[in-house]
Amino acid sequence: DSCRNFHCKRGKVCHVDKQRKPSCICQDPAACPSTKDYEHVCGTDNKTYDGTCQLFGTKCQLEGTKMGRQLHLDYMGSCKYIPHCTDYEVDQFPLRMRDWLKNILMQYYKRDLDTSGFLTEKQRSKVKKIYQNDKHLVAGDHTVELLLHDFEKNYHMYVYPVHWQFHQLDQHPVDRLLTHSELAPLRASLVPMEHCITRFFQECDGDQDKLIALKEWCRCFGIKE
């Protein structure tokens, strides 16, 4: 099978010509497998697609056009009304996000106590210090004032979670820069719950080069240089 080890980017599939030579062609959106309602996704064109296969197949067919360049995965789930993000809300967003990242890592650490695999040994040693610190704020729906107070009082507990999330996303390639597609896994899953995440990342890109550098990321989360 000529296509077995032939890789095509999202939105494309392997096709073999008469000479058995493989190449990548656009996925036909109509040929995508059927999906469940919970697998639907919303594109940046505010249109609901039956799944990522249909979305990226459509984007591929529009390649080279303005519409194709502008079409991305916006968020998981069917398109719905996303409220406008106010200045006040975007200012508070990093408080909740830092707390959320810290608690995600603590959950991974607790799971690794029973079955290892979520964190590397180096990551475990970093998170262990936060987990064993009896001053850490337990997960919950905290007020903005409490989150701000805890960040100022226990600043050192928040530095690693912010760095960890950046490096989890910085994969294609690993270059200390986050592209739109690298941000997508985090952003697309959170938009329905955190409607300020899009504006937050736009404003993180201080030099407007459509890339978020590690320094820009840390500055947005209030982490000192």
Q: Mean pLDDT per segment of 10 residues, for the chain of length 225 residues?
A: 88 91 95 92 95 96 93 92 93 95 93 80 91 85 93 95 96 92 90 92 93 96 92
**Domain covering 87-221, topology:** Recoverin; domain 1 (1.10.238)
> Which tokens hold the place of 57?
């197949």
Residue 75 confidence (pLDDT): 92
pLDDT at 106: 92
| CA-wise closest residue to 180 among 144, 155, 204 | 204
Q: What is the pLDDT of residue 2?
A: 83
Strands 48-49 and 177-178, how do they pair?
unpaired
Q: Which two tokens stand for residue 205?
A: 């890109």
DSSP string, 188-225: HHHTTT-TTHHHHHHHH-TT-SS-EEHHHHHHHTT---
Alpha helices in the chain (DSSP H): 52-61, 66-70, 87-114, 121-131, 144-153, 156-169, 180-190, 197-204, 214-220
Buried-exposed string 159-172: b where 16+ CB fall within 10 A, e elsewhere: bbbbbbbbeebbee
Domain parsing of the chain, residue ranges: 12-76, 87-221
- Please give the helix or strand (H or E) that residue 216 lies within, else none: helix 214-220
> Rounded CA gap, 36 and 11, in Å?
19
CATH number of 12-76: 3.30.60.30
Instruction: Please state, in angstroms and rounded to a whole number, the distance separating the CA atoms of residues 206 and 120.
Output: 32
d(CA 224, CA 160): 12
